[in-house]
Amino acid sequence: MDAALEAEIQQKHTAETILAMRRWTDKLISFRLTRPAAYRFAAGQFARLGLPLEQGGQVWRAYSMCSAEHDDFLDFYSIVVPEGQFSSRLARLQPGGQVMLDKRAMGFFQADRLPDGRDLWLLATGTGIAPYLSILQQPEVWRRFERIALVHCVRETAELSFQDEIAALRDHPLWHEHGHKLQYLPVATRDAPAGMLGQRIPALLDNGELAARAGMAMTPEHSRFMLCGNPKMVEDTHRQLMKMGYRMTRQNAPGHIVLENGW
Ligand SMILES: Cc1cc2nc3c(=O)[nH]c(=O)nc-3n(C[C@H](O)[C@H](O)[C@H](O)COP(=O)(O)OP(=O)(O)OC[C@H]3O[C@@H](n4cnc5c(N)ncnc54)[C@H](O)[C@@H]3O)c2cc1C
Ligand SMILES: NC(=O)c1ccc[n+]([C@@H]2O[C@H](COP(=O)([O-])OP(=O)(O)OC[C@H]3O[C@@H](n4cnc5c(N)ncnc54)[C@H](OP(=O)(O)O)[C@@H]3O)[C@@H](O)[C@H]2O)c1
């Protein structure tokens, strides 16, 4: 084998090009990378992305895929932490710039780990919405559940990204007969206008407001939950759900909850 080709195959990562970048706020950006033909992932998994450091070496971070398993590009949604090693550098890049991609996708945050049920609750804070955007582009999830509630909780309404994309999901030709199943429930904890939910997710579960707003009563028989975002939110929501009689899904022990910490 040609030595250069062999060296490339043995590399653990590839260099991908930024095709597009969207700046939602000064702290939130989404970006699209080229996708190597051999890159495989399951909706809900994350990639490891790398950038070179000026002083030498690289910084690598986990990023959930937002795009569909079948897309020929990879979409991501990122916080910009001003002092963050990765995201502050990412924010300075433009289309045409390069990002390293670990060849292996990772993680077990997948809807198919949940046993069948009637209702699927997708609970996110901040960039924790990213894996759901991919999961909701899998025809199977639309067929499996009768009702799906996507709850996106942010500090301020300006951070409720992807509203048009979420609305468009309902009309996708691959699952449009199921499109009515999706409810989008935005939550802003610091500047909710009248009529919008305004408390943290664990409080909204505890006081029944989330179930009431969705018109989806929660019961262990029918309700399944995915949790992603701020690790404290994941912890507090998990604790609240346990109080309500739900438990984690584990290997060989199906439950009601799967979760992923957003950092
Ligand atoms: C499984 C997994 C999936 C992830 N998916 C995403 C994703 O899809 N999008 C994304 O932006 N980040 C995601 N992250 C976080 C990501 O890996 C980085 O931490 C983040 O991009 C910031 O990197 P940084 O080097 O700039 O700052 P870091 O040094 O990594 O973080 C500095 C601080 O910023 C805060 N922070 C980090 N990430 C976030 C975040 N996403 N939202 C709010 N505050 C944060 C935390 O307080 C953290 O201590 C994921 C992390 C894990 C473990
Ligand atoms: N977004 C901003 O305007 C802003 C401004 C300054 C700095 N930052 C920095 O940026 C980082 C990310 O900010 P972010 O707003 O994207 O993420 P975040 O702090 O995780 O907040 C996102 C949402 O999660 C909620 N939340 C936080 N802790 C929770 C818990 N234990 N249980 C349930 N819900 C919880 C928040 O509610 P609450 O509103 O009640 O906290 C908010 O609605 C922060 O770490 C912060 O240092 C952000």
Q: Which CATH number do you get for residue 26? A: 2.40.30.10
- Whether 37 and 116 map to the same domain: the answer is no
Closest protein CA for atom 30 of ligand 2: 233
Q: b or e along 38-54 (b: 16 or more beta carbons within 10 Å of the residue's beta carbon)?
A: ebebbbbbbbbbbbeee
- Whether 59 and 116 map to the same domain: the answer is no
- Whether 89 and 145 map to the same domain: the answer is no
Q: Would the CB of 130 count as within 6 Å of ligand 1?
A: yes
Q: Is 109 helix (H, G, I), strand (E, B) or coil?
A: coil
Q: Pick the ligand that lies closest to the CA of residue 80.
A: 1
Q: Pick the ligand that lies closest to the CA of residue 65.
A: 1
Query: What would the mean pLDDT of 69-88 be, rounded to a whole number?
Result: 98
Sheet containing 28-34: order of strands: 58-64, 46-52, 98-102, 13-25, 28-34, 73-79
pLDDT band at 2, cuts 50/70/90? low
- Whether 117 and 236 map to the same domain: the answer is yes
- Whether 229 and 249 map to the same domain: the answer is yes
Q: Which distant-in-sequence residues (6+ apart) come within 8 Å of 120 by Cβ?
A: 111, 114, 141, 144, 145, 147, 148, 149, 224, 226
Residue ranges making up the domain that contains 122: 111-261
Q: Would the CB of 64 count as within 6 Å of ligand 1?
A: yes
pLDDT band at 65, cuts 50/70/90? very high
Q: Would the CB of 86 count as within 6 Å of ligand 1?
A: yes
Q: Where among 71, 102, 133 does a domain terminate?
A: 102
How many folded domains does the chain comprise? 2
- pTM score, whole prediction: 0.96
- Whether 161 and 49 map to the same domain: the answer is no
Residue 118 CA to ligand 2 center (angstroms) comes to: 31
- Whether 56 and 119 map to the same domain: the answer is no
The pLDDT value recorded for residue 252 is 87
- Whether 54 and 153 map to the same domain: the answer is no
**Ligand 1 mutation pick, 81, 83, 129, 263, max ligand atoms within 8 A of CB:** 263
- Whether 18 and 94 map to the same domain: the answer is yes
* pLDDT tens profile 126-162: 999 999 999 999 999 999 999 999 999 999 999 999 9
Is 123's pLDDT higher than 70? yes
The pLDDT value recorded for residue 11 is 87
The pLDDT value recorded for residue 7 is 63
